Amino acid sequence: MLLALHMLALGVGTIMFLGIILLHRRARAVQPMAHPDGSPVYPGLDFTHRPARWLAIRSLHPKAVQAALGAGHPVRCPGSEGLTGDHLFFIRPPVKDWIIVTGSGLPHPGHDVDRCFHFLIRLSRMLGQVQFFLADPLLNHHAWVRVENGVVRRAYVWANETAWNQGAKSISEIELDMKCFGYGEAAGMGDSATEASAAANVKKVLSLAARWSFDPTAIERCLPGPDRGIAGKSS
């Protein structure tokens, strides 16, 4: 009996010891290292913050984008701060001929689709090709717009109903099987069906952006040096 109790205690102790070693190794695996900009990196864990809405502008000149946006009082800041910070506009360095712009100063087509339309038209007349994307996983609102030299080539905005649907579906939309409703078309569908379609579209917006221009979550992997962009306020 005493021998059995001794063996049981020894076995429990061994299991606890092995468990402590395993937890220690896991803790070491997530110890932060540092990005070039000083922000932490956690190996094996993905803390990438995807913007809810962003612009993709075909340009190699951030200052031209800054001027077109009217972003005054510019300051340089790391990409991690610009993406999550309280900036009206944050202009990332150009990657593969595209400049990504995020910030609360970008219009929300679900709130005012006309303002979004005029904003993109004006910007495109100044800069050429401008693309706008919205992917809100909480409300399932989504949008993708492509404007070239002031002409809308394709636009689709969903905010509990179709607010803007212009131009033929692109090949990328068709290949990704993205559901686009006409004006008032979804009214006859059940709420669960429309929400399911909207949620599926939200998940595919990044894939569409990657095909049309650039996936904003891939910026840090593509930049050769520290990701420092321009943060500014609207004039």
What pLDDT score was predicted for residue 32?
38
What pLDDT score was predicted for residue 165?
97
Percentage of the chain beyond pLDDT 90 is 56
Do residues 125 and 77 both lie within one domain? yes
Does residue 170 belong to any structural domain of this protein? yes
Do residues 130 and 59 both lie within one domain? yes
Do residues 10 and 92 both lie within one domain? no
Do residues 125 and 19 both lie within one domain? no
Does residue 182 belong to any structural domain of this protein? yes
Does residue 47 belong to any structural domain of this protein? no
- Ranking 42-56, 75-89, 112-126 by mean pLDDT, the lowest is 42-56
Query: Is residue 220 classed exposed, middle or buried when 0-12, 13-18 and 19+ CB atoms within 10 A define those classes?
Result: buried
Where do we find the tokens 């989504």?
A: 142
Does residue 167 belong to any structural domain of this protein? yes
What pLDDT score was predicted for residue 167?
97
If one compares 235 and 100, the residue with the highest pLDDT of the two is 100
Do residues 117 and 197 both lie within one domain? yes
Cα–Cα distance measured from residue 17 to residue 60, given in angstroms and rounded to the nearest whole number: 57
Do residues 63 and 132 both lie within one domain? yes
Structure tokens of 25?
């190794």
If one compares 147 and 229, the residue with the highest pLDDT of the two is 147
pLDDT above 70 for 82: no
Do residues 68 and 20 both lie within one domain? no
What's 95's DSSP letter? B
Per-residue pLDDT tens digits for 133-156:
999 999 999 999 999 999 999 999
Do residues 104 and 74 both lie within one domain? yes
Do residues 18 and 132 both lie within one domain? no
Most distant CA pair in the chain: distance in Å?
89
Cα–Cα distance measured from residue 200 to residue 22, given in angstroms and rounded to the nearest whole number: 38
Do residues 27 and 57 both lie within one domain? no
Domain count, the chain: 2
**pTM to 2 decimal places:** 0.75
Does residue 48 belong to any structural domain of this protein? no
Does residue 95 belong to any structural domain of this protein? yes
Structure tokens of 129?
């090709």
Nearest to 157 by CA among 147, 166, 169, 148: 166
* 166-to-24, 44, 229, 231 alpha-carbon distances in Å: 56, 42, 33, 32
Per-residue pLDDT tens digits for 159-192:
999 999 999 999 999 999 999 999 988 755 557 8
Q: What range does the domain containing 82 cover?
A: 53-234
Identity of the highest mean pLDDT range in 9-23, 180-194, 209-223:
209-223
Does residue 126 belong to any structural domain of this protein? yes
Do residues 90 and 197 both lie within one domain? yes
pLDDT above 90 for 10: no
Do residues 21 and 77 both lie within one domain? no
Backbone angles phi, psi at 8, to 5 degrees: -65, -45
Q: Are 156 and 185 in contact (CB under 8 A)?
A: no
If one compares 68 and 47, the residue with the highest pLDDT of the two is 68
Nearest to 142 by CA among 131, 123, 157, 128: 157
Backbone angles phi, psi at 215, to 5 degrees: -85, 115
Does residue 145 belong to any structural domain of this protein? yes
3-state secondary structure of 176: coil
Cα–Cα distance measured from residue 16 to residue 14, given in angstroms and rounded to the nearest whole number: 5
pLDDT above 70 for 40: no
Query: What is the average pLDDT value for the chain, to the nearest integer?
Result: 81
Cα–Cα distance measured from residue 152 to residue 20, given in angstroms and rounded to the nearest whole number: 60
- Ranking 39-43, 90-94, 111-115, 171-175 by mean pLDDT, the lowest is 39-43
Listing DSSP states for 138-163 in one string gives TT--EEEEEEETTEEEEEEEESSSEE
Nearest to 233 by CA among 108, 84, 50, 86: 86
Nearest to 124 by CA among 69, 165, 70: 69
What pLDDT score was predicted for residue 29?
37
pLDDT above 90 for 48: no
Give me the mean pLDDT over the 35-61 stretch: 61
